[in-house]
Structure 1
Amino acid sequence: MDIDAFITAHAPEWARLEALCRRRRPSADEADELVLLYRRVATHLALVQSRTPDPALAARLSGLLARARAAAVGRSRSSGWAALGRGVTVTFPAALYRTWRWWVGMGAANIAIAAAMMLWLREHPERLNRLLSSDAVRQLVDRDFRDYYSEHPARAFAAHVWTNNALVSAVALFLGVTLVGTLYTMWQNTLNLGVVGGAMLGAGKAHVFFGLILPHGMLELTAVFIAGGVGLRTGWAWVAPGPLPRSRALAEAGRLAGVVALGLAGVLLVSGVIEAFVTPSGLPTAARIAIGTAAELAFLSYVFVLGRRAARAGEPDLPAEARADELPVS
């Protein structure tokens, strides 16, 4: 291989790659061009090393490739942060807004059932004894319910409740394809709430129950209801896929559930922090409930302001990178 002719033939490409490496804010086309030229120059380096060893040229091309790699990696990191910001401010709230009927309906049904169960057990305490022994009920209302929120260090407790709630939400979301799995998970959550609430109300400790459950429970239960509602929507995609093929409708609903799962991890982190640091604190009950109410209203505003704005602007249910590729057909 004639090294001088090789340099003459490819020097413009090397110069162009060098220029692209210096760009601070390249366009999308320039970023694609950088990647393309990087691959070409890597091939050129391989040819130089294998056919006509030239240490000076090899060092020159190696340095150019190193700068191009650094530029590409740095920009991918920047684009990653941009994608994260867009996910938080656009994609996640838009997904919640588009599915709000599912999770609001899920929440309304669960709250109604839990409330009915609490009131019924309060009026019929003997029925509670069929679920729990009298000693267990006494221990629950006198000590266990209150101590649960303060018996562990706050940081460890926050991590524990975050992990537990995230697991429940993930199960409700991803068992949605079975429909029954999500309904069973939500029933277990509602049953626990109804039984504990019924025991506390029956013992005349409604103020203790609501004073401890409301500060974190409003946001936490909203997140669980979202998981259950979106999970059911996923399962319903194969029952009634609409105009899409059943497999594609289910795939897109599943990808949307993945977007929601990632977003709910952040929501449950906030509720876990409130549960660990606010619920058992020495603040007056009204102040603790006010903090929980503020968090809940902030989240609902996030969904119905940012989410509605994104939906009206035409934001798709899924980000472009999560959607199925379409192949042209004749």
Structure 2
Amino acid sequence: MRLVNLIAARYAAPVDLDAYVAERRGEWNRLDALTRRRGLSAAEADELVLLYQRAATHLSVVRSHSPDPILLASLSQLVIAGRSAVTGGRRFSWRPVGRFFTTTLPLELYRARRWWLAVTALNLLVGGALMAYFAAHPEIVETFVPAATAERLVNEDFVSYYSEFQAQNFAANVWTHNAMIAGQCLASGVLILPVLWVLAYNLFNIGLVGGLMIGAGHGETFFVYILPHGFLELTAIFVAAGVGLRIGWAWISPGPHRTRGRALAERARAGMLVALGLVAMLLVSGILEAYVTPSGWPDAIRIGIGFVVWLAFLGYALVLGGAADRRGESSEPDHLPAELPTA
């Protein structure tokens, strides 16, 4: 009732509109009362729909005649309350969250698998070649890393980097850093070239450091400290890059029966779903890097943990995602807003 009284009290308009409001005040009072009830009979539900339709029309009429923003806001609030009562508000449920992680995310990872698996394979080949080249040509390494810096990196900094900060702080730091790189790959995917630049830059750095460590006879140390978290971390970056390139390719080759705009929108939406999954994926890799990599456990255990987690991701994306695809699942929400009744 306060809402309706505010409408009447704040109304400052010509006589015809004043009469318009006075004539319909009873309907608004009734609509306001029905929206506040939790249980409605069938007759009251029908009345609610009818009054909501009328109030929506009244709002349109008042909006075209009244410049008073408070009046319009008050009547709009009444219409919104009526719409919410008609359509029914959705209560929070964990079901969509569960469906996202069991169906939606693995399905989109599976559908984009050709892109991120190709990116992974290409980066592994090029990265291995760069490491071998830099390990065999230390004079080339010196053009990028001064001898004193290289010696300190090999003997101290590479290992101490993983235990320099408290584990929880280090995990948060690498999580946000890697998330930023993944975000760059996804956000710039529509332009394609920036993704290739990000990949090339990170690949060069990994190849340079790996080649330096291998050439100095510390190759085992390099792989022991890279692999426990690197399996999952690098795969996450490659997934982001592959999905980003897939988005960019959509406007180059949209496919039959689709406009470039529609293809780009569909791929971008799928990319955003994968981005949500990468947040969790990179969190796991950050925990591995902060707690497992510098743990001092036997090398086989550290590497084995990282390898098992990586295999679990591949099974999640390829096996679970493939099953969802064969079932004909969709990544579209399982509920869409109901069509609102209109006057």
TM-score by length of 2: 0.74
Residue number among 148, 153, 156 corresponding to 2:166 in the alignment: 153
Give the length in aligned residue pairs: 286
Deviations 1:41-71 (A, max 9, x none): 996xx9xxxxxxxxxxxxxxx9xx8xx97x9
Which residue is equivalent to 2:268?
254
- Cα deviation, 1:4-62, whole Å, max 9, x if unaligned, reads x98xxx89x959x64479xxxxxxxx9xx89x76984996xx9xxxxxxxxxxxxxxx9
Q: Quick one: which of 295, 302, 305 aligns to 2:319?
A: 305
Q: How far, CA to CA, are the matches of 2:330 and 2:53 in structure 1? A: 38
Mapped contact 1:255–1:318 kept (Cα < 8 A): no
Q: Paired residue for 2:254, among 232, 241, 245?
A: 241
State percent identity of aligned pairs. Answer: 44
Other-structure match for 1:288: 302
Identify if the C-alpha distance between structure 1 residues 20 and 193 changes in structure 2 by more than 3 Å, giving closer, same or farther: farther
Alignment check: 8 A CA contact 2:119 2:241 kept = yes
1:77 aligns with 2:95: no
| Counterpart code for 1:273 | I
Q: 2:290 aligns with which of 276, 290, 293?
A: 276
Helix, strand or coil for the counterpart of 1:283?
Answer: coil
**What are the within-5 Å matches in structure 2 for residues 191-270 of structure 1?**
191-243=204-256, 244-270=258-284
Alpha-carbon distance, 1:254 to partner:
1.0
TM-score by length of 1: 0.77
SS of corresponding position for 2:165 = coil
Match of 1:102 among 102, 115, 119: 115
Preserved CA contact (<8 Å) 2:229 2:288: yes
The verdict on how the C-alpha distance between 1:38 and 1:258 changes in structure 2, with shifts beyond 3 A counting, is farther
For 2:158 and 2:50, the matched residues in 1 are separated by 62
CA contact (8 A) 1:98 1:317 kept: no
Residue 120 of structure 1: aligned partner: 133
3-state secondary structure, aligned to 1:77: coil
The residue number in structure 2 matching 1:24 is none
Which amino acid in the other structure matches residue 106 of structure 1? V
For 1:298 and 1:114, the matched residues in 2 are separated by 24
Q: One-letter code of the match for 2:181?
A: V
Counterpart of 1:82, as a letter, is: R
SS at match of 1:186: helix
CA shift for structure 1 position 175: 0.6
The answer to whether the 8 Å contact 1:118/1:195 transfers is yes
1:166 maps to 2:173? no
RMSD: 3.5
Tell me the CA shift for residue 318 of structure 1: 4.6
Greater gyration radius? 2
Contact in 1 for aligned 2:103/2:331 (Cα 8 Å):
no
Cα separation, 2, equivalents of 1:42 and 1:77: 30
Aligned with 1:114: secondary structure?
helix
The AA in structure 2 aligned to 1:202 is G
Give the 3 Å change call, closer, same or farther, for CA 39–120 of structure 1 in structure 2.
farther
